[in-house]
Structure 1
Amino acid sequence: MISIAMKIRLFLIAWLYLLIPFFFRSGPIARAQEIKPFKNNDRVVFLGNSITDGGHYHSYIWLYYMTRFPGMNLSVQNAGIGGDRVVEMVKRLDGDVFSKHPTVLVTTFGMNDSGYFEYNGSEPDKFADEKVKESYEAYKAMERRYQQLTGTRIVLMGSSPYDEGAVIEGNTPFKGKNKAMLRIVDFQKASAQSNHWEFLDLNQPMTRINERIQQEDPAFTLCGNDRIHPDNDGHMVMAYLFLKAQGFAGNKVAEIAIDAASGKVASAVNCHLSRLKKTPTGISVDYKANSLPYPLDTVPRGWGNKKSQFDALRAVPFLEEMNQEQLVVTGLNGRHQLVIDGEEIGVWSAEDFAKGINLAALSNTPQYQQALGVMYLNEERWEIERRFRDYAWVQYNFFQPRGLLDANNRQAIEVMDAHIATDGWLKAKRDLYARAMLPEVRQAWQDQLDQLVAAIREAGVPRTRKITLVAVQ
């Protein structure tokens, strides 16, 4: 017979095993968030709501692959529709998601599923329970469909947060909404674990960033002025968290180490150096990297956005962790001017060169300018893809419930016109639908997308650069 003391001891041991993950946060919890990097010929589809539909995070992720792995054949597609809950997503799986033949399917939901205004009502906890239950029941149908897929990796992604903490004039937060969203994240994570799928939570890491910066700037938020839709900086943070989960922290664009005194290459990481010469005033070398630096856009893009992708550097160490193109030169004396392909880049001391100059942080280098060309082409691609998403919004939010999915005829236009007077969103998309309903227009848009992707691949091929260091007084 087991003694009382032994029973107590066994009880305490059991509780210790349950508590271990909470004490060692970098253990099982961190491993549960790892996502395998995309591979050549992957077709990645991001399924979500308006944050995916009108957002940039997936485009920023693809831009990383375009510049870091320029020879890689990779497709990243937007399958977001504004206003969607998981129940609406299930209804369009066949026509709008599986039809894209994804090899990787990233799914995120929770913002709309958790509801809005009722959190300011008399029974917010009851409302939260109802919304989480509704979302879970709808998700079970999605889970069953996903379990039937073959040849598709499933990644479940906890939604970016609803920011209740930011001080935003004229915007009172729905207190308790994000807590309900976290309950949805919990069942997503449990499903991923039970089905051996991959999982990433964006909610808690982004909330921690918001809370940290709000200590000094109460109005700061990654989640936009409506507390819901991340601005460009928030989308870049989402891309950073995704890429970090894929293991790219510490992955360099390139690294050059040269001993100027001996005129020898000390090391060359992810690049090839040739024709290294000592000159009377310094050194010169031909440099060809296998990658381009990641270009961070400084212009706010997308409807209503006020911040840029570059602004994300305030929140996350993307430059330090994922955008290092290091030039290290030892054995110098005094100050030297860095020249690349005849372009004067800047002047640094011998100590600075010995520590290393991060060329990826300098927007005036020829390779960064080349990367900007890739970025602008990618923005053009994003703009055209948005037309397809607006067309999908009309098809699945308006026509599908009325039995007119893909009708694309005069009857559909007449039904649409009967409702636009009372539906501002529908009215805003009327002209686009009138064009997109024509298959030749959609094909023309698709041809433009294909041409842009081809141009991106051509523009992203790294070139040999002449690096010269010239001593200055």
Structure 2
Amino acid sequence: MKPVILVLCLLFGVNVLTGAQSIRPFQQGDRVVFTGNSITDGGHYHSYIWLYYMTHFPNVRFRVFNAGIGGDVAQQIYDRLDSDVFAHKPTMVTLTFGMNDTGYQYLSKEKADSVYNVRVAKSLTSFRLIEQQLKAHPEAKIVMIASSPYDETSKIKPAPFIGKNAAIMKIAAAQHQAAITNKWNYLDFNTPMTQIAGREQQNDSLFSFQNGDRIHPSNDGQMVMAYIFLKAQGFANTKVADIGINSTSKTIQAGNCTITNASFTPSAIKFSYLAKSLPYPMDTIPSGWGKPAKAQYQSLKVIPFTDEFNQELLKVKGLKGEKYLLKIDDKNIGTYTANDLEKGINLATIKITPQYQQALAVMQLNEERWEIERRLREYYWMQYSILKPKGLLYNDGDAVADSLQKYARKDFFIAMAYPTYRKARFKSVRDAWQKEMDLLIDQLYTINKPVVRRFEIVALK
């Protein structure tokens, strides 16, 4: 193992000897259900993971389902396993919990520890029920995920609940032991995210992935979670494509792509390029949790995602001129020196290339899918968090709707979800949303296929 890779493995908590951070890559036809609380419910990490596959493995079609419910603890997850998780007939189920299980209380450290111990014990009692239910579904691969951290170290406001993250990690330890016992996969979001935040806070005491409340990772943190997951699936150093040109010998080497129709003249090199992958696009618009919200691309400041996962390299040796114009599909991409081209250009970071623009369209359609799924998750939040405890699960009649509208005047969370619920309580509306998502997924797996691009490297006088 190379020293640099070993350092990264140690930094991100990967047990290189036992392979504890190892997850089977998704396969054709998989149905993957991400189960959790609001960090999953309103989060993007599962969507970012799916986007990686859509762009890097465009012919591997599978489904990802969000089964997060805001506010859930282990008992609530157990109560909805059949109806909200296994109803999707999954081939893989991930499970993360613990943030809500440990509670939210400002207490002295001594008293807090006592309260946390009680809460953890209660959570683990419910987890044993979950464990038995998961064991009853051997057709599904199980991945235990240690919760993303509660940030106790940033100097942001509000003041932290001292000891909360240690309590979360007690739950994670039980998840890890269950994974060992049952030969399930285990993944730790908490440790690497805590380490990265601690490193960044040495220079910026206000740094946090959870700007708004110390709980919910903003989109940069969600991308870090996706990075950790993909790394555990073994995709680090998997290139988008690798083009190596020797202008002296007039030869081209191609990695994860096909080069045809190459021609060499004293003033230009031309060829057709068909990659097997697209570059991974990054959203630059701040959104999601946190105030101020952060954009997905801001994660690149703290993780080596570009170096490890998003390399579309073009290298040209033996050029005699000083400057060259790169054109793709007759579009001017940039001007480079012979030295630049010999060192190599990462096309995946150039947003104006036709292939990056194609990937951006995939990203935007995937966001549309995510938005529709979020509407459905708001409906299911109302069902499981509000109606089920009252014995009114899926009772969507006018009387219940009117009652919820009255509750919304006093309850902020019900008020936020009620406008969506008012529409989604009609099955025909939910069916239409589901059909819209299905159409979007069909379109995603149509527009994500790389196409032949015509490259020109032209000498400039």
Name the TM-score, length of structure 2 as normaliser.
Answer: 0.94
1:47-66 matched pairs, under 5 angstroms: 47-66=35-54
- Alpha-carbon contact 2:32-2:90 (below 8 Å) kept: yes
Separation in 1, partners of 2:137, 2:14: 32
Separation in 2, partners of 1:98, 1:145: 10
Q: Which residue matches 1:466?
A: 454
- Percent identity between matched residues is 46
Shift of 1:451: 1.0
Shift of 1:341: 0.6
Q: Which residue matches 2:73?
A: 85
Q: Which residue matches 1:198?
A: 185
Letter in 2 for 1:240: Y
- Alpha-carbon contact 1:119-1:176 (below 8 Å) kept: no
1:389-408 matched pairs, under 5 angstroms: 389-408=377-396
Separation in 2, partners of 1:157, 1:364: 37
SS in 2 for 1:178: helix
1:286-365 matched pairs, under 5 angstroms: 286-302=272-288, 304=290, 306-333=293-320, 334-365=322-353
Separation in 2, partners of 1:76, 1:339: 37
* 1:176 pairs with one of 163, 166, 177: 163
Q: Are 2:213 and 1:213 aligned?
A: no
Separation in 2, partners of 1:211, 1:310: 20
Deviations 1:249-302 (A, max 9, x none): 01000101111112211x211100001101341201100001100001111123
Label 1:139 to 1:27 Cα distance change in 2 as closer, same or farther (>3 A).
Answer: closer
- Alpha-carbon contact 1:224-1:230 (below 8 Å) kept: yes
Q: Which residue matches 1:371?
A: 359
Deviations 1:293-342 (A, max 9, x none): 00011111236562110000011000000000011111112221111111
Consecutive unaligned residues in structure 2, runs of 5 or more: 1-9
Q: Which residue matches 2:124?
A: 136
Shift of 1:29: 6.4
Deviations 1:380-431 (A, max 9, x none): 0010000010000000011111111112212322432442232221122222
Q: Are 2:75 and 1:113 aligned?
A: no
Q: Which residue matches 1:236?
A: 223
Q: Which residue matches 2:32?
A: 44
* 1:186 pairs with one of 166, 173, 192: 173
Separation in 1, partners of 2:221, 2:15: 27
Consecutive unaligned residues in structure 1, runs of 5 or more: 1-21
Deviations 1:191-211 (A, max 9, x none): 100000000000000000000
Separation in 2, partners of 1:187, 1:432: 37
Separation in 1, partners of 2:45, 2:92: 16
Letter in 2 for 1:89: I
Separation in 2, partners of 1:88, 1:234: 25
Shift of 1:370: 0.4
How well do the aligned residues superpose, as a CA RMSD in angstroms? 1.5
SS in 1 for 2:336: strand
SS in 2 for 1:299: coil
Aligned residue-pair number: 448
Q: Are 2:287 and 1:281 aligned?
A: no
SS in 2 for 1:471: strand
Deviations 1:42-80 (A, max 9, x none): 010100111001110000000000001111111011110
Separation in 1, partners of 2:445, 2:237: 24
Q: Which residue matches 1:10?
A: none
The range that moved more, 223-232 or 387-396, is 223-232
* 2:155 pairs with one of 167, 177, 184: 167
Deviations 1:336-359 (A, max 9, x none): 111111111111121221121110
Label 1:185 to 1:29 Cα distance change in 2 as closer, same or farther (>3 A).
Answer: farther
Separation in 1, partners of 2:407, 2:109: 30
* 1:149 pairs with one of 137, 145, 162: 137
The range that moved more, 315-324 or 89-98, is 89-98
The range that moved more, 410-419 or 397-406, is 410-419
* 2:254 pairs with one of 251, 255, 268: 268
- Alpha-carbon contact 1:86-1:138 (below 8 Å) kept: yes
SS in 2 for 1:429: helix
Separation in 1, partners of 2:98, 2:368: 29
Q: Find the structure with the greater CA-based Rg.
A: 1
Name the TM-score, length of structure 1 as normaliser.
Answer: 0.92
Letter in 2 for 1:437: R
SS in 2 for 1:39: coil
SS in 1 for 2:299: helix
Letter in 1 for 2:394: D
